[in-house]
Structure formats: structure tokens, C-alpha cells
Amino acid sequence: MKILDLVTRTFRYTNHTVRDSEGHTHPGPPHDATQSVLEIVTDEGVSGYCFGASPDVIAQVVKPLVVGRDPLDREKIWHHLVEMQRGNRGLSDRVLATVDLALWDLAGRALGQPVYKLLGAARDKVLAYASTMCGDELPGGLDSPEAYAAYALACKARGYQAFKIHTRMPPIAGTPNPREDIAICTAVREAVGPDMALMLDSFHYYTREDALRIGRALEKLDYEWFEEPMPEHSMSSYIWLTDQLDIPIVGPETAEGKMYTRAEWIMHRASDISRAGVFDNGGITPVMKIAHLCESFRVQVEIHSPGAGNLHALCAMAWPGKYYERGLLHPFIDYERPPQWLRTIDDPMDDEGYVHVSSRPGLGQDIDWDYIAAHEVKR
Ligand code: MG
């Protein structure tokens, strides 16, 4: 089998979220937006797909490197793209991820198997945590400790066994505020009772002292983990924090460097639980390397962000990866409604809080090609 072409299609959809000046997503007035899908075309009539493509980088940088290759040579293609990242700043880990996910999707479609089976299946469902959007100033949204508590109760009623808070952060006036963070975490624990697992992902630029103060409060509230309270390039700060706290510290998430960074954090005991994600690290291929690295050290690894790629990777891990991150959630957003380009969502959840992986070939996404064709934007 040979790769004949890389094609990206861009199409219009209605977005119900907006980004604030710091890049955080919130509910907002419906507005026009665009999405892109990558298709890797082969000479045997089978293709692989991934959403979130960057059309220009794919066309200018990736396409000349991969056309003519065997699409099942994922490892070779991935390593070549990693080496090309040094001289091509636009060739981000996110771009690598779209190519790698499309190649996995293609392999699954060619062989008639879901990706998690090709990887070596360990399970077909994963416990989810409800992952909130960052807080806001929207009445009835996530604007106060009481509002977070009410939403945690709603998520518990939906079946979630775990709930992760993203607190109120800049540009909201008066934030970041460790005291408010602790008040939110306290209100949520008091509302849901002792049995629901709770996690905090706070403001990412706290001082060491503020991070320690919040972490100690979380220990008293029996939180399951504490995530990214400081810049991850300061590994010394994480060694300092992890050494003093009993609550597990999770990371690195946003630090680049793929499996190499995770190995360094494990060796330096900079966190207790490692972190990986297909769009953070460059695809399913590196996430499985990180999963096996962590398993070898008996260090747990938690997977960042939702999506079919992360779900298939999680279902090929017998080692924790305890949770699937379902989100970002907000009282004003209907997460159960698929995006307009899919007929069904990637991550259906049952009443016990488990997300089930698709048994369709490839990544199993239920793509609405009629919608995409009707809304395509000619470039
Ligand atoms: Mg995070």
C-alpha cells in the first residue's frame, strides 16, 4: 500500500464557545467558525482521517515527506517527522498528531479493526471524570464556589464518579486567588460528599508558596490529584512541591518534549503521576511510548483531553490511565450533542460514568460527510 495524497478539507460550522483574552474557552453567542479534516489517500482505495488539521503545514511540509510511503510504516514516518521538527517550527506536535491519528485510522479501516484492538486491547470502557471549563462571571455559570458545587452535583446525578475543577483565572478581575480556589474546592467537596473523586487544575503560574498552600488544603479535602499550579519548565519547582505534599502531583502536560520530558520528570521525581495526550505529544504513537515508559517504572499516567485518539490509547493500556477526561463541561453547554460534522459523539458515557470505545474500524468516528460537503470552504 502506498500513500498517494494528503488532502485537507475546511468547512464552516456554528461554534457555541468563545475564547477569552487568555485563551480559555467559555460559553458564548453562536458564531461562524471553521474546522478542517485531513484525509490520507492510498492506492488501495482506503483512506484515514483526522480532524483539527492545519492545511498549510500539511500541504507545504508534511505532504512532500510522506507521499509514496507505506501508510503502515507509522513508526518510520513519525520519527522522520520528529526529526523534521528541528528546522520547521510550524511542524508542531499537534500537526504530527493529526498525521499519526489519520495513519492509525487508515490502518484500522484497511484491516477492519478498531485502533485499540490493533494496539493490543486491554479494556473497552474507561471511567470518566467531568472536566469543567475555567470559571467565569456568567450568572448561573461557574461564577462562585456555590455555582461549582451545584454543577458538581449535576454531574454526579448524570453518573460521573469523578469531577475536575478548572478554577477562575485571569482575565477575571481578582484572580488568580488561592483563597478563592480553596473555597471552590471546599464547596464542591462539601456538596458531593466523601465518595466522589475530585481533582484540581489551577492557575498555572502560582508561586511555590501559593501552590504548597493550595496543595495542603486539597490534602485535607481528600482530593485525588493536583495539576499544573506552576510553569512546567521549572522542574525544580515541581521537585520542591512534590517532595513536600502527599497529594499526587500530575504532570507534565504542556511541556513539550514528548516521552523524553516524561522520562526526565520520572527520574527527577518532579511529579507522582505522569501525563500524556495525543495532541500534546504528537499522536497515539508517542502516547503509547509514554504509557509503556510509565508502566516500566510503575508510575501512573493520566491522559489529557477527550477525543477518539485518547480513548483508543486508554483502552490499549492495562496500566493506569485510570480516567478519560470528558469535557470541557459547563452548565450552559450540551456535551451530549455531537459536533455538526459527526453523527454521534466519540465518547458516549453510561449511567455509571464509563465511556465506551467504538468497535467500528479505525478511530470509529461517525463522520457526517454530507454536512462537510455542504459546508466546505474553497481555499
Ligand atoms: Mg490540565
pLDDT digits (tens, 9 = 90+) for 95-138: 999 999 999 999 999 999 999 999 999 999 999 999 999 999 99
What pairing do the DSSP bridges indicate for beta strands 323-329 and 125-132? parallel
Tell how far the Cα of 253 is from the centroid of ligand 1, in angstroms: 6
β-sheet bridge partners, residue 130:
163, 326
What average pLDDT score do residues 15-33 get? Answer: 97
Average pLDDT in the 197-202 region?
98
The rounded Å distance from CA 203 to ligand 1 centre is: 10
**Residues written for the chain:** 379
Region 7-29: mean pLDDT is 97
How many angstroms is it from 86 CA to the middle of ligand 1? Answer: 26
Task: Give 252 Cα–ligand 1 centroid separation in angstroms.
Answer: 9
Does residue 162 sit in the same domain as residue 286?
yes
Q: Are residues 131 and 102 in the same domain?
A: no
For 336-354, what is each residue's pLDDT tens digit?
Answer: 999 999 999 999 999 999 9
Q: Is a pLDDT exceeding 80 seen at residue 379?
A: no
How large a percentage of the chain has pLDDT more than 70? 100
Number of domains forming the structure of the chain: 2
Residues 12 and 150 in one domain: no
**Centroid of ligand 1 to alpha carbon of 50 (angstroms):** 23
Q: What is the mean pLDDT of residues 227-243?
A: 98
Average pLDDT over residues 362-371: 98
Confidence class for position 162, pLDDT limits 50, 70, 90:
very high
CA distances to 11, 35, 147 from 366, in Å:
17, 16, 34
Q: What is the pLDDT of residues 27-36, one digit of tens each?
A: 999 999 999 9
Q: CATH number, domain at 277?
A: 3.20.20.120
Closest CA to 282 of 85, 25, 35: 85
Residues 88 and 179 in one domain: no
As a whole number of angstroms, the distance between CA 208 and CA 201 comes to: 15
The pLDDT tens digits of the residues spanning 295-344 come to: 999 999 999 999 999 999 999 999 899 999 999 999 999 999 999 999 99
What is the distance in A from the centroid of ligand 1 to the CA of 134?
A: 11
CB 107 within 8 A of CB 142: no
Say how many Å lie between the CA of residue 304 and the centre of ligand 1: 7
Please tell me the distance from the alpha carbon of residue 164 to that of residue 130, in angstroms, as a whole number: 6
What are residue 301's DSSP bridge partners? Answer: 274
Span from the CA of 305 to the centroid of ligand 1 (angstroms): 8
Instruction: Tell how far the Cα of 154 is from the centroid of ligand 1, in angstroms.
Output: 22
Q: Could you tell me if 309 and 300 are in contact, meaning their C-beta atoms sit under 8 angstroms apart?
A: no
Ligand 1 centroid from CA 122, angstroms? 25
Cα end-to-end span (Å), the chain: 29
| 193 and 135, same domain (yes or no) | yes
Say if residue 214 is in the same domain as residue 243.
Answer: yes
CA atoms within 13 A of residue 326's CA, in its CB half-sphere:
28
60: CA distance to ligand 1 center in Å?
31
Three-class DSSP category at 367:
strand
Distance 229 CA to ligand 1 centre (A): 9
Residue 238 has a pLDDT of 98
Mean pLDDT value of segment 257-278: 98
Are 24 and 152 contained in the same domain?
Answer: no
pTM of the model: 0.97
Task: Tell me the one-letter amino acid at 91.
Answer: L
- Nearest CA-CA partner of 197 in 172, 224, 176, 174: 224
Residue 31 lies in domain: 3-113+365-377
Q: Is the alpha carbon torsion for 13, 19, 24, 27 positive or negative?
A: negative
Q: Ligand 1 centroid vs 326 CA: distance in angstroms? A: 12
Question: Do 124 and 137 lie in a common domain?
Answer: yes
- Give the model's pLDDT for residue 223: 99
For residue 89, name the pLDDT band (cuts at 50, 70, 90): confident
At 51 the pLDDT is 98
Q: CA nearest 252: which of 262, 267, 239, 237?
A: 262
C-alpha cell at 93: 506536535
Same domain for 136 and 220: yes
The alpha carbon of 187 and the centre of ligand 1 are apart by a number of angstroms equal to 21
In sequence order, the β-bridge partners of residue 42 are 3
**84 and 230 part of one domain:** no
Query: Does 17 lie in the same domain as 149?
Result: no
Q: Do 200 and 345 belong together in one domain? A: yes
Name beta bridge partners: 12: 34
The answer to whether 2 touches 43, Cβ cutoff 8 Å, is yes
CATH number at residue 56: 3.30.390.10
Neighbouring residues of 321: CB distance < 8 A, sequence distance ≥ 6: 126, 291, 300, 301, 302, 303, 313, 314
Confidence grade of residue 10 (pLDDT, cut at 50, 70, 90): very high
